[in-house]
Structures are given as structure tokens and as C-alpha cells.
Amino acid sequence: MADKRLEIKGVSLNFGGLAVVADLDIDVNEGEIVSVIGPNGAGKTTLFNLITGIYRPDAGDIVLDGKSLVGLQPHQISQRGVSRTFQSLRLFLNMSVIENVMAAAYGNTHAGVFRSMLRTPGMRREEREIREFASQRLAFFGERLMGYRWDQPAYSLSYANRRRLEIARATATKPTLLLLDEPAAGMNPVETHEIAELIGRLRDEGGYTILVIEHDMHVVEGISDRVVALDHGVKIAEGTFDEVATNPRVVEAYLGTKAAATK
Amino acid sequence: MTDSTPHSSETPASGPAVGQDEWVARHAERRLIRGGPLAPMEERLRAVPWWVWLTLFVGVMCLLPAVTASGYVRRVAFDTVLYMMLALGLNVVVGWGGLLDLGYVAFYGLGAYSYALLDSDQFHVHLPAYVAIPVVVVIGAIAGFLLGLPSRRLHGDYLAIVTLFFLQLFQTIATNGDSIFGHNVTGGAFGIFTVKPLHAFGHNLVVQHQGVFAVTYYFVALGFFALIYVALRFVNLSRTGRAWRSLREDPLAAEAMGMPVNALKLMSFAFGAAIAALTGTIFASLSASVLPLTFYFVLLITIYTMVILGGSGSMRGVVLGALVIGPLLELLRDPNKSRIIFYVALIGGLVFAFRRSRRLGIVVAATLAFGFVCHAIAGALHHSWIAGSADGGLQHVVSYWLIIPKHLAGWIPPVSYVGVICVALVLTLVHGRLRLVLLPPTLYLAAFVWDNVMLTQPDPARYIVLGLILIALMIIRPNGLLGERRVEIV
């Protein structure tokens, strides 16, 4: 693994007097799937919010492809090639399925308002391209988000399909780094299995580097090249799934000291 | 928790294959087919493209002057077209951008005043229309942009307060603008009354033709309306329009998906403001005068009512809203038409509330019976209590049922007025049979108040009717007449 896509260097963030993330170092290499695990409140989603620019770190640096992301607006970071999904789904519920995906193509399209008003040939061509591109993104999920579904509002989708649509939307910003926040949360076993397979396909066929937060250890085991465990905003372990899963500090973080002692 | 999850990526032997969805597979079976003879027609109507509808609509509107020669009706139609344009502009900000802009009519006023300054005797500037209109539109857009600048980080109620302040600021400047550093700019409370009609290439578009409203302005307004409608429709279906709606749905997600939320908000403000300013020029050139109080809360509320009633976010909806509310407000000025509207609305509301259930018949019959009994008792007690009907028409018919006294005792209006409000409030609290029993007397009391108290002052009463329509609609159809269904839940 040669190129470092994302480097998180000594990042800290405090909410008032509480250190949410403390002196965190994580590297993500090109084409890698890295899982972030940890108990609730460990700072995993905060880490995602830091990378995507929703929070600004109090200390440290976040570097994507050699350029710092700190201080950029979230939409600028998105245009640099970082895209994400949300733990509590944040779809554009009253827009149609395909419009959800088309909207995310905003950053890599150019037609201005006046060209849109006049519907110039260039604008129409771009519009066709956006639609074609969006349909390809949706086609990634097999039949589930295809056909008549396109023009239905997003709120009509089932929970699992909403999660899929959010991933489709995230890939429509043409990212190189994809941050997935609990993609399998609330899924049934079959769907969970399918999501795990999908994440592998996103890397293999889509070519994305993927950072994923996940609680389901089967998924983590199945997909991860590397696992990072956080607790109270501190990295407590890093390595392959087996290394991290057997790490006493990880067991302690999940089960408590007493349980760790009796094991 | 997820013990049955397969550990690696091998596909389980049974169960649905990856990417296959029962729902999709059986979609054709599940589709609800609407029956009846109207179904094929509905399908066909849905297939008609939008521009056919727009052409038809504008065409029919163009025919109106051929139907009636009344200057009053034509003027009302003209005002309605202006309302439609204003509603379309507000829809950009509120319906698509999701920004609660309470300063909207200030931009309308700004447009009117700007035109007034660019083509009047105030400063003896007389720009032709093809210069003045674009300049005013740009001024409107810049003003919208400037208002957006400090408020781009605000949303919801905070934004509403700041924009409301802007409206007040505009009012204050317009009203006190007769001595801005010693110069008379806006003419103060009396406004500017030397505004010239639109003119270009040496031709004047006269405002009045032999003392009657000149219908050319109606066509000018319709032309601009069609232009705005087409432009907005194109923008809505472009990346900008999608970004605006994403912003309304979830600003954080929109930002994370690469949309510059702050810039989009400014753009939305500027767009709405430019349309309002454009409408302002047409209004000012027709009215030949601009007054500060034209652009104030009453107008703001009226336009908001149109947008909400029609369905915020839907262009067809807000046009329909303007088309309903504009003429309605005019009709309600006349007590006789107002009376007809009241009873039609009452019956319509009942039909809507009870749909086809048997209770509809019971309530209507009980209300009629209750009325006749009251009428008979009142008539038996004293003849003058039911002798109030004078002007024929519907009131004459109604007076066989409703108590209309010749002279109202001084205590009756306030007591009955407060009474009907109290009973209506009680009605919202009780349920089932009790509500059914209370409903006929309430309706009768409401009719009594309407005929005896409210219609003596139709002008304030019409805004009360407007409010009631809005409340009723928000209960029955919270998303407006043509609004898309809106959900906030996750």
C-alpha cells in the first residue's frame, strides 16, 4: 500500500471542557477499507464531522492527497473528493429518488442560472449527462432503486433502500474517499450481508477508498483491511480485525474492566 | 444480535438474491388501478406536457377582455396576474429555498419606487421601459443579495425576524424619504404621484383609455407572467433548482454533498427579489403613483396566503392560490356576493368534513330545522325581530330561515361574535355525538353573526374570511391545494 489518501495528524477537538477527540492519528491508504469501531460516544461520528469540515479541529491537521482540509467549508471538502453518508439518514425526503442523486452532482457540474433559464444546448447536454450519471449510480444497487422508483419521492422508500440511496447520493459527488457512517444500522441479517458485499464492490468496482464506522462485527470482519478502535476520543488499537478484536483494551472498552479481568 | 449473518462474502443458498427486491418484482400487481370511466381520461390528461397547459391558461386569460368590457373586472384580472407573479417569486424563496422571508413585499415596493424614480417628474428622469425595467430588476436582485448577506447564516424564525425588520426599514425610509439629507426622494407618506406609464421608442403605453383601465397593461403583465413561469420552471429543473430544494430539505446534507449552501441562499433571495421588483415596475407604471402603505403587512399576508393555500413549492399551486385569493378578496367587498361565498364555503366545508357519511345529511337537516324553529319562535315573540331583510337577493331567501332583526340591540353584535368563537372552540374539544349535537346551533350562530354583524363592514370582514379559509385548509390539506406531500419525519 503505497499512497496515503487521508492522513489525520494529531487531531483534537473539545466541546467546552470535554475532549471529544484527543490527539488522534489515522492514515488511510489508497484503495483501502478501514473500519472505525468503538462504543457509543467514542468520537467516531465526530471524526467524520471533522474530516468533512462540519467541525474544525482545535489542534492537528487533516490532509487529503497531500493538501490540508482544515478550514475549508464542507462543500469545498466535498469537491476535493470526500463524500459521506449519515448515521441518522439525511436524505432530501421530498425530492424524487433520482433527484436526490442528481442534486449531489452539483459540485462537478457548471451550468449557471442564466444558462438554465435559457435552456441552452450546453445546459441541456449537461442535464442529460447528470441524469445518465445518476442512473448509473443507482444501477449500482441492482433493481432496488431502478425503474419506476426514480420518480417516486425518497420518503416512499423503505429504510434499507433509504440507506442504499444515501450511498448512491454520496457517490454522485465523484469522491475518492467515501465515509460511511454505520451503513448496516437497522438492517436485517440478509440486508446486512448485502451491505457488506456492497462495500467490497464499492472499493473493487467504484475504486473508492473507504472509511467506515460499523457496530456489526461480522461486517467489520468481512470487509476491513484494517480496523481502528476508538474509546473516549483516543485510538486504543489499530491493526487487522483479529489483532484489534483480541486486544485487551478493546475488550475492556466494550465490556468493562471486570469482564476483561474474568476473561 | 446478528448471529445469522454470514461471515464472509459467500451468498447464502436460500433467500432473495442480492439486488432483487420483492417490491420491485411485484410492482405491477401492487399498483393501484383507479377504476371508473374517468380513469383513461385522467391518464391522458397527465400525459399532456406542461407548456400546453401554460399556453392554454395564458390563452384563456387573454380571452377575458373579450368576454367583459368592464374596466373594473379587467383591473381585478390585472391585479390577479400581478399576484400570480408575486406568488411565483415568493415561491422561489419560501417554497424552494425554504427560507421564511417576511420582507418580501419590501422588494416589490423597492421595484415600484425604483421605477417611480426612473420615470417620473420627481427628479425629471424619464427612462424608456427597455432601460428602466432591466435596471429595476437588477436593483431588486442586488437588494435581495444585500439582505441575504447578513442573514445567510440564519434560518427559520431568526431569519423571519431579520427580514421583517427589513420590511419595516423599507417602510420607514419610504415614509420619511421626503427629507433624506434635505432632499425629497420618496415623497414621504404621500408617495410619488407623477409616475409615467411604460414608454419605449416614443410610444406611451397609456394607462387609461377614455377613463377606463387600458387592457394593454393586462397583456403586458400576462406576458411577463408567462416569461417568469417558463424561466422559473427551467431553473427549477436545473442543478440550481435541485440545490435549492435540497437546501430546503436538509441544509447540512446539502452542504456535505458539495452544494455551497450560503451562496445558494443568496441566489434564492436575489431571485425572489428580482421577480418582486419586476412586478413592482408594472404596478407603479399602471398606478401612476406609489404610496408607502401599499407595500405593507396586508399585502405580505395576502401573498403568503396564496402561496400556502396553493401549495408552497408547487408552481401550479401558487398560481392557483393567487387565482383563487385575488378575485375572492374583491368579491368579498360586496355584501351580497360575500354572502353567497359564505354559504357556499359553509356547505363546501361540511361536505369536505363529513365526506359521504350519513352524518352530513343529519347535520344539514338539523341545521335547517333548528333555523326554522328559531325563526318561528323569534317571529312569534316579536315581528320586528325577523323584519330586517330589505335588499332582496339571497338575503331575502335566507331571511325565511335566519333571524335578521330590523334593529340590532347594542349588546347583540359583541355577544354573538364572542359567542360564536367560544362555541367553535368548544367544538374542537368535544367529539362524537356531542359534537354532532353542537354543530347545528354553531352553524346557525355563525350565519347569524355573518349576516347581522360582519356584513355591515365587509372590508375588514373579508380578511377574517381569508383567515378562516386558511385555517380550514391547513386542517384538511396542510400541504395546500396542489402542494407535493411534505414529510418532516425521518
The answer to whether residue A180 is domain-embedded is yes
Among A7-11, A36-40, B14-18, B203-207, which stretch is predicted with the lowest mean pLDDT? Answer: B14-18
pLDDT range class, residue B3, cuts 50, 70, 90: very low
Among A36-50, A76-90, B199-213, name the one with the lowest average pLDDT.
B199-213
Chain B partners within 8 Å of A89 (Cβ): 490
**What is the per-residue pLDDT for A78?**
94
* SS3 per-residue string spanning chain A: CCCEEEEEEEEEEEECCEEEEEEEEEEEECCCEEEEECCCCCCHHHHHHHHCCCCCCCEEEEEECCEECCCCCHHHHHHHCEEECCCCCCCCCCCEHHHHHHHHHHHHCCCCHHHHHHCCHHHHHHHHHHHHHHHHHHHCCHHHHCHHHHHCEHHHCCHHHHHHHHHHHHHCCCCCEEEEECCCCCCCHHHHHHHHHHHHHHHHCCCCEEEEECCCHHHHHHHCCEEEEEECCEEEEEECHHHHHCCHHHHHHHHCHHHHHHC
Nearest CA in chain B to A79: B258
The CATH number linked to A209 is 3.40.50.300
Q: Which residues in chain B have their CB less than 8 angstroms from residue A194's CB? A: 18-19
State the nearest Cα–Cα gap between A141 and chain B, in angstroms. Answer: 6
Q: Which residue of A has its CA nearest to B27?
A: A148
Which residue, among A52, A76, A92, A96, would best test binding to B if mutated, counting the most B CBs under 10 Å from its CB?
Answer: A92
What pLDDT is stored for residue B281 in this prediction?
Answer: 93
Query: Is A67 a member of any domain?
Result: yes
pLDDT tens digit sequence for B25-73: 565 555 655 566 677 777 788 788 889 999 999 999 999 888 888 888 8
- Considering only CB atoms, A86 lies closest to which of B2, B253, B254, namely B253
Residue B2 pLDDT: 39
pLDDT for residue B211 is more than 60? yes
pLDDT tens sequence across B387-412: 766 666 677 777 788 888 877 778 88
pLDDT at B119: 86
**pLDDT tens sequence across B407-426:** 777 888 888 889 988 998 88
Q: What is the mean pLDDT of residues B345-372?
A: 83
Whether B234 shows a pLDDT value over 80: the answer reads: yes
The ipTM value here is 0.91
Residues A4, A25, single domain; the answer is yes
**Closest-CA residue of chain B to A149:** B24
Instruction: Scan residues 2-61 of B and list those with Cβ closer than 8 Å to A.
Output: 2, 4-9, 12, 15-16, 18-21, 23-25, 27
Tell me, yes or no, whether A71 lies in a domain.
yes
Least confident of A213-222, B132-141, B153-162: B153-162
Touching check for B254 and chain A: CB below 8 Å?
yes
- pLDDT value for B31: 60
- Asked if A132 and A158 sit in the same domain, the reply is yes
> Do A185 and A260 lie in a common domain?
yes
Task: Categorize the per-residue pLDDT at A85 as very low, low, confident or very high, splitting at 50, 70 and 90.
Answer: very high
Return the number of CB contacts < 8 Å for A and B: 163
* Model confidence band, residue B15 (pLDDT cutoffs 50, 70, 90): very low
Question: Among residues A172, A188, A210, which one ends one of the domains?
Answer: A172
Nearest chain B residue to A222 by CA distance is B8
Q: Is A199 contained in some domain?
A: yes
Residue A119 lies inside a defined structural domain of this protein: yes
| Residue B256 near chain A (CB below 8 Å) | yes
Burial zone of A89 (CB within 10 Å; 0-12 exposed, 13-18 middle, 19+ buried): buried
Partners of A61 in the β-ladder: A9
pLDDT at residue B34, as a whole number: 59
Q: Domain ranges in chain B?
A: 50-331, 337-456
Q: Based on the domain organization, do A241 and A252 belong to the same domain?
A: yes
When CB atoms are compared, the residue of A107, A116, A200 closest to B235 is: A116
| Side-chain half-sphere CA neighbours of B184 within 13 A | 10
d(CA B351, CA B357): 9
Q: Is residue A151 part of a domain?
A: yes
8 Å CB contact of B486 and A94:
yes
Check pLDDT > 80 for residue A24.
Answer: yes
B5 with A193: Cβ contact below 8 A: yes
Please tell me the predicted confidence (pLDDT) of residue A262.
Answer: 54
Interacting residues of B345 by C-beta distance below 8 A, sequence separation 6+: B465, B468, B469
Are A141 and A167 in the same domain?
yes
Query: Is the pLDDT score of A1 beyond 60?
Result: no
B253 touches chain A (CB under 8 A): yes
- Considering just the CA atoms, what is the radius of gyration of chain A in Å? 19
Cβ <8 Å between A106 and B239: yes
* Count of domains for chain A: 2
Chain B residues in contact with A102 by the CB 8 A cut-off are: 239, 242
Query: Could you say which of B7, B242, B255 has the minimum Cβ distance to residue A99?
Result: B242
**Closest-CA distance of chain A to residue B205, Å:** 28
Domain check: are A168 and A211 in the same one? no
Q: How far apart are CA B179 and CA B331, in angstroms?
A: 40
Question: Nearest-CA distance from B393 to chain A in Å?
Answer: 48
Q: In the CATH scheme, what is the code of domain B50-331?
A: 1.10.3470
Q: Which residues of A touch B272 (CB under 8 A)?
A: none
CA separation (Å) from B41 to B47, B48, B56? Answer: 10, 11, 18
The region of weakest confidence among A40-44, B36-40, B480-484 is B36-40
Residues A262 and A209 in one domain: yes
Residue A130 lies in domain: 92-172
Last residue of a domain, one of A156, A172, A188: A172
Question: Lowest-confidence range among A17-26, A115-124, B347-356, B357-366?
Answer: B347-356
The answer to whether residue A86 sits within a structural domain is no
Say if residue A182 is in the same domain as residue A263: yes
Domain boundary among A144, A172, A200: A172
Q: Mean pLDDT of all residues in chain B?
A: 83
Cβ pair B245:A94 closer than 8 A: yes
Q: What confidence score (pLDDT) does residue B342 get?
A: 84
With contacts defined as CB-CB under 8 Å, which chain A residues touch B7?
218, 221-222
Q: How far is A17 from chain B (nearest CA, A)?
A: 26
Among A249-258, B305-314, B392-401, which stretch is predicted with the lowest mean pLDDT? B392-401
pLDDT of residue A47: 93
Query: What cell does B346 get?
Result: 359553509
Label residue A49 by pLDDT band (50, 70, 90): very high
Query: Residue A87: inside a domain, yes or no?
Result: no
Residues A66 and A123 in one domain: no
**Are A76 and A139 in the same domain?**
no
Residue with more model confidence, A140 or B21:
A140
d(CA B16, CA B6): 14
Which position has the grid cell 352530513?
B360
- Mean pLDDT over B455-483 rounds to 79
Does B280 score more than 70 pLDDT?
A: yes
Residues A55 and A99 in one domain: no
A35 with A69, same domain: the answer is yes
